[in-house]
Amino acid sequence: MKPLPFELPAVICPESGDGAAQREKSDRDDSDPDRLCSGIIALSASGQRKKGALAGLAADRECKISELILRYKKKMKALGKEGADFYYIRSPKSLREARAAILAARKTFSGPAVISFEVNDEGVSEFGSDAMALYVIAEGMGASAFGLTMENAGYAEMADVFSRVAPYARIPLLASGRRARELSDAFPQIGLFESDAGAGICSLSFVESLNRPSFYKRDPELILAASNNEAFFLDAAADFQQEIGCGPDFPEKILEAEEEGGGLKITVGSAYDVDILDQYQYMINRPVCFCPLNPEILEAALKAYNGRAFFDSESCDIDENYLTYLKDFYGVIEL
């Protein structure tokens, strides 16, 4: 995780006024095939961005994550020419978009990346991921701060969702919604990001308590993993007895394993296996441990998998530096 590039507290205002409103209008134009259903904003340490420092995330749900990463890297490099101290990734519409944007930001530039998701009153995104799962995935991939937008939620609903995430958070949490200010008053570790002049482009406000060391403490024995929808709270004795391969019968094996419970060991030995994993991962609701043929296949599986997974260290030999890279960028947990 890269530290935020400013002293706390700070107020960050990406844009205000007619220019922002015009951009938001463009974002919602369904006639535009590359419309900004979500976006990436390049910001300076003072919180200001120059004209044009906004790019849309792709709405193509069929696009492979490697293609999305390349697309976002090009956009971020273009944004960075105007000068950026960090990137703000707002409201991605799928986990694939979110993960691709974080990876692109981290591979493009050395500064931090902040990400926020829109969730309903129960803390679930429109693509079915629970807020805790979103946090686990974002933290594992090196996001520097994590936000949730609950625009129409009441105070009780917001407090319930953030109460589930806050005890496990090691990075700053941000809240947006009609009752967010009350939430921040009650939870001093939560900052605010609010719609600026109705434009839909967010301002960020961080509170000083985010820097308190006690906020970052978590049980060292606790291991956080996630599928694309659900977070898992595990320890070193996590059970991964069921081993399945990524063959033509992969969906049937997933269903059988789901009935038996416990974690899944998934063997991946080729690009074909990774494609099968990518195609059917939506069926997985258990912790996953990959057993790869080699380090390159492991990275391909981690890149495709929309969760935070384990890796069986006995399945193949991996250089320590490469393993450190995989842990840093994908949050993989060594078993």
| Look-up of token digits 């990075």 | 171
Instruction: Give me the pLDDT at residue 38, please.
Output: 61
Give the mean model confidence (pLDDT) for residues 262-283: 94
Q: Yes or no: is domain 223-334 CATH 1.20.144.10?
A: no
Enumerate the H helices of 149-233 as residue ranges: 155-165, 180-186
DSSP 64-86: -HHHHHHHHHHHHHHHHTT--SE
> What average pLDDT score do residues 88-96 get?
89
- CA–CA dist 91, 83 (Å, integer): 23
Higher local confidence (pLDDT), 198 or 300: 300
Condensed to tens digits (0 to 9), the pLDDT of residues 33-86 reads: 333 346 777 665 555 554 445 566 655 566 889 999 998 888 888 776 666 677
What is the pLDDT confidence band of residue 2, given thresholds at 50, 70 and 90?
A: low
Question: Tokens representing 43?
Answer: 């910001």
Contact 27, 41 (CB under 8 A): no
Q: At 169, give phi and psi (nearest 5°).
A: -80, 135
* Residue type at position 27: D
CA-wise closest residue to 159 among 138, 139, 177, 134: 177
pLDDT at position 290: 97
pLDDT tops 70 at residue 94 = yes
Q: Establish how many alpha carbons lie within 13 A of residue 171's alpha carbon, considering only the half-sphere containing its beta carbon.
A: 24
The pLDDT tens digits for 173-221 are 888 888 877 876 777 666 665 544 232 333 344 433 334 444 556 788 8
| Same fold? 10-216, 223-334 | yes
Q: How confident is the model over 99-114, as pLDDT tens digits?
A: 999 999 999 887 788 8
Domain locations in the chain as residue ranges: 10-216, 223-334
Portion of the chain with pLDDT greater than 70, in percent:
71
Q: What is the DSSP letter of 52?
A: T
Half-sphere exposure of 147 (CA within 13 A, CB side): 28
Contact criterion met (CB below 8 Å) for 76 and 105:
yes
Which CATH number does 10-216 carry?
A: 3.20.20
Q: Does the global pTM surpass 0.75?
A: yes
Say which DSSP state 249 is in.
Answer: T
pLDDT digits (tens, 9 = 90+) for 245-254: 999 999 999 9
Does 331 have pLDDT greater than 90? Answer: yes
pLDDT at 124: 97
Compute the distance between CA of residue 286 and CA of residue 264 in angstroms, rounded to an integer: 7
